[in-house]
Structure 1
């Protein structure tokens, strides 16, 4: 398969940069990521209108009315090789990078980034200034995944292959990475390294004391995340405004 065919397949959703197995776990599609890297190697830098320079084979995508994608004017861009399903709303300015997958009914709010190969599910809300990290190399590294119905609050940062399961809610300012611990205060346990944010968890930013004696003496703390409850009818009602905005 040529890199051009691969990019077409990524755009129509027939291939993805990551896939979910029968157990619900996500794995990088190495062949796809290798094809994306081949496209970068094949491209030549050219000038685009507006003073931009990028690869000649990775021009920004355009949308027609029949695509049923609402990309509001004001500086947003969706790169070649990204999938954006019908019913998606992209507010300006936002950026969706190559290999990303955004399923139907999702809101990408202002100043949000959906990084390369990131996988975003159905009816997700990515609030203003959310940063979804991308990954192309190493090719075996899994991208960030946000599953269906999740709500990611303003200013959240998700990197290093973090997975947020269906229906979870991240409060504004939550930062998740492979090295930031997540404490489940409901079930009184610490999530294992690499473990996904559980379905319907409500997560807020937290802090924990630094471990060294010197750091303790200075009163220093480190970032963490806290699961403080799981969604119920009351918390679901607080998210109903999202449907009105659509």
Structure 2
């Protein structure tokens, strides 16, 4: 039996039909056997486990997921895959039947790569040259991962999210306990972006925006900077960037403290994207998707 946190609920109990009686403890200790790791990976494939869960409107990291993925690396050696690849993590769909593809409800375009241990929800499209790593969770219901886009390890992607061509989201396997990168529902990310931290529901990230820890996010509505989310792991503290819900983020620059140069920044344009007039204005400017 596995205990975990469920999206928007207080507690989840998953009953695992397996001889692996101490799976959770073994994953925490990174002492799980190859068989136990296979059970764990299948739970990730099915979306029953994920690296972060939203509880009472707060995202909570599930560190045993990272422990389990690292444990899997340690119990599996490299092997030939697809005739010309040499790796220890097989592709999610390597042995899929036509029926499994139909039941999954996901379009996998030629040339895309999705590693096992990633959950891909129904009504998702993975375009050519897109890459989805182990532990990632894509909710589906209108998700599009465009050509060349990258969803890294343990990243959490909400419903109806559009990832523009060539964009990527930061992964997290170490240190265990750090919150995974999260994109909430109905977010649109333009082409050639690099994002990390948390992007709130309904926000739009204009093409070419680069988010990074330590990079300032300036809010035109408040005239102030958006405070990062503090995440403490052991004796280390991480500051994760946050884009509030229903905002448009564009690339820009701000004067340095000494005023002798400008520093790269993310600018939140004034207005709420739930306001149709604001949305029409940004669309007319042509800055939503580049």
TM-score band w.r.t. shorter chain: 0.7 to 0.9
- Could you tell me how far 1:82 is from its partner in structure 2? 0.2
2:66 partner SS:
helix
- Where do residues 89-238 of structure 1 align in structure 2 (5 Å cutoff)? 89-104=125-140, 105-159=142-196, 162-194=197-229, 196-211=242-257, 216=260, 220-229=261-270, 230-231=272-273, 232-234=275-277, 236=279
Q: C-alpha separation between the residues in 1 aligned to 2:255 and 2:113?
A: 41
Count of aligned positions:
228
CA distance in 2, matches of 1:204, 1:183: 10
| Matched position secondary structure for 2:60 | strand
1:27 equivalent in structure 2: 60
- Structure 1 residue 236: Cα displacement: 4.9
Q: Which residue of 2 aligns with 1:60?
A: 91
Say whether residues 1:39 and 2:79 are aligned partners. Answer: no
Aligned to 2:233: none
Q: Which runs of 5+ in 1 are unaligned?
A: 240-246
**Aligned-pair distance for 1:140?**
0.9
Q: Quote the Cα distance in structure 2 between the aligned partners of 1:157 and 1:88.
A: 21
Deviation at 1:199, TM superposition (A): 0.8
Return the offset for 1:235. Answer: 5.3
Q: 2:47 matched to which residue of 1? A: 13
Give the distance between the partners of 1:190 and 1:13, measured in 2 at CA. 35
Asked which structure has the greater CA Rg, the reply is 2
State the Cα distance separating 1:204 from its structure 2 match: 0.6
Length-normalised TM-score, structure 1: 0.88
